[in-house]
Structure 1
């Protein structure tokens, strides 16, 4: 297998597991170099307070085989309008073998005009907003459309990692990674989707998350105006 260069965008407020679930899987092949990418090498604090140390700055980043954009908390609103981030994603996506995202990272890709005309997945609570940005949103855990591979919410990044690893290195390598990680999920509750959780749990969560939903909606409308899109 040829050496692989895989890069994960990180930014202040990024969701820790959006990054690390897929990172753990994709870093499995010994010929892989996995980068944590930010504007500088200064530490980046996740939404949960976990401190990431970037390994490569935007300026020093090599040409990537895979660029992955994870989702974030309230600070993702800033990332979606950060010209330096969006320009970097456009630059890398022009030559990357796969352009990918986890959770609401697909909204950052859409803000960079990299998902319009593609099918893509997103966290279930933000599907309508991603669709407002001109993306064909599909309710799938992992969506593949040509060289765009996108995952739904948070833990979907693990399944996304195995799917992408299979595309990059073959099914046998992906299965070895799954075995190494002993990935045999048996969740204690059947509440991982709105359909399974039921209306009471969904509404309770939506109330807790209303501030971030409102902030994302406002930024989505701003991005629509910038991209000259109309609500669908």
Structure 2
């Protein structure tokens, strides 16, 4: 693995029905640093439709992507279908060993698990699917961001920003990460205390689980 990186080729992974914020949150943090060269990769170049209808564009195929220093894998509300994407899973399995870091947000960690990347590692995911990681040999953790070796995983959707800031601090130091956070004015003050199952209460949890079951 490369250690001191003057340029960090970062592959942001796109696939059908991915969750947009899982990718955009880390992108806005990391791409603001001059060392990062972003590449948006999918099975084929072109438009990729996210699970809530937003269209993003891949500028390169997996086969045409540079060897990545950093891989960022978003999740999906339709994560079970994504697990059957053999082209995506195969690329992750092949690209990870040479990468300096592999990162996932939300249910993206299930894709890492399917690719054999999480065996024996501590990892997190969206609270509703976290326990499925054990089936891939991972140690599920109820933490917002988990680093285990060269793999960093984030909890549900919005945790992608926290993941990217944590990684930025590891790569470039706390002052740089703090400046990136300030530039984004990332100062969470949510209007409700319902961001975890413990805070939300059983009725809200049941409603969300019901909605997820229908995706």
Structure 1 residue 172, shift from structure 2 partner:
1.6
The answer on whether the counterparts of 1:4 and 1:32 sit within 8 Å (CA) in structure 2 is: yes
Task: Give the equivalent residue in structure 2 for 1:132.
Answer: 135
Task: Give me the whole-angstrom Cα distance separating, in 1, the residues matched to 2:144 and 2:99.
Answer: 22
Task: Give me the whole-angstrom Cα distance separating, in 2, the residues matched to 1:90 and 1:166.
Answer: 26
Task: Give the equivalent residue in structure 2 for 1:5.
Answer: 9
Instruction: Say whether residues 1:177 and 2:180 are aligned partners.
Output: yes
Task: Give me the whole-angstrom Cα distance separating, in 2, the residues matched to 1:144 and 1:151.
Answer: 9
Structure 1 segments unaligned to the other structure (5+ residues): 213-232
Among 49, 53, 56, which residue is 2:53 paired with? 49
Q: Which one has the bigger helix percentage?
A: 1
Task: Give me the whole-angstrom Cα distance separating, in 2, the residues matched to 1:102 and 1:197.
Answer: 21
Q: CA RMSD in A?
A: 1.2
How many matched pairs?
211
Structure 1 residue 162, shift from structure 2 partner:
0.2
Task: Give me the whole-angstrom Cα distance separating, in 2, the residues matched to 1:31 and 1:101.
Answer: 20
Instruction: Say whether residues 1:21 and 2:14 are aligned partners.
Output: no
Choose 26-35 or 114-123, whichever is displaced more: 26-35
Task: Give me the whole-angstrom Cα distance separating, in 2, the residues matched to 1:24 and 1:122.
Answer: 20
TM-score (norm 1): 0.88
Instruction: Say whether residues 1:207 and 2:213 are aligned partners.
Output: no
Instruction: Say whether residues 1:101 and 2:104 are aligned partners.
Output: yes
Choose 170-179 or 155-164, whichever is displaced more: 170-179
Task: Give the equivalent residue in structure 1 for 2:93.
Answer: 90
The answer on whether the counterparts of 1:97 and 1:147 sit within 8 Å (CA) in structure 2 is: yes
Q: Deviations over 1:131-168 (max 9, x none)?
A: 22221010000001111100000000010010011112
Structure 1 residue 78, shift from structure 2 partner:
3.1
Structure 1 residue 51, shift from structure 2 partner:
0.7
TM-score (norm 2): 0.94
